[in-house]
Amino acid sequence: MITITITETDYFLPEDGTAAKAKFLELLNKLTEVWISAFGFTLQPMFDDLEKANAAGAKIHVLLDHSQEVGRAEAPKVKDLVAHLKHGDVTITTAGIHSGAPSQIWHWKGMVVKDPNGKTMHCWEGSTNFSENGWLQGNSARVFSSVDWAKAFVNQFEAHRAWARQNLPQYQV
């Protein structure tokens, strides 16, 4: 848990879906490193932007729920990302570490983007799945900059990634 004071932009979907999706993709267009935690992970423009960032040498770290490894829409896209990822990693997990029910789903949708100056940490969090339909549903999203939040997010991300790699080898692609 952390306490921070920030200025943020809040999106209330579906009304703000177009603007939220545009901001999400904009953040992916200016990164040197990104940590993405997701449940639904099928948005093709996101995969296109991650492919461009990967080709430019950006480090990409993705933590996905185990249902993404087997989902009809998700599995081919995730496997393709893994096959072409040169500067990063994709880890499949469950609720895992510190959960009273570790086999439950990993439902956290969030992202930290380190931009080209290496100092600004753009943060994204909300209930929106990173899918075409996520922007059309009743969801929320918020965008802000906070080094403290980014550090807490990355620390939790890395703890879950390490746990999943050690305890869930059957899900790794």
Cα–Cα distance for residue pair 163/106, rounded to 1 Å: 13
Structure tokens at 8: 């943020």
In the chain, what are the domain boundaries?
Answer: 11-141
Per residue in 44-77, is it b (16+ CB within 10 Å) or e — as a string?
Answer: eebbebbeebbeeebbbbbbbbbbbbebeebeeb
With CA atoms as reference, report the closest residue to 39 among 102, 93, 108: 108
Computed over every residue of the chain, the mean pLDDT equals: 92
Specify the CATH number for 11-141; select among 3.40.250.10, 2.60.40.10, 3.30.870.10, 3.30.230.10: 3.30.870.10
Percent of residues, the chain, with pLDDT higher than 70: 99
* pLDDT > 80? residue 168: yes
Task: Say if CB 46 and CB 75 are below 8 A apart.
Answer: no
For residue 153, give every residue at least 6 positions away whose Cβ sits within 8 Å of its Cβ, in sequence order, or none. 35, 37, 110, 112, 123
pLDDT digits (tens, 9 = 90+) for 80-126: 999 999 999 999 999 988 888 888 999 999 999 997 877 778 999 99
What sign results for the dihedral spanned by CA atoms 58, 38, 28, 1? Answer: negative
In the predicted model, what is the mean pLDDT of residues 132-155? 95
Please give the Cα distance from 63 to 95 (Å, whole number). Answer: 11
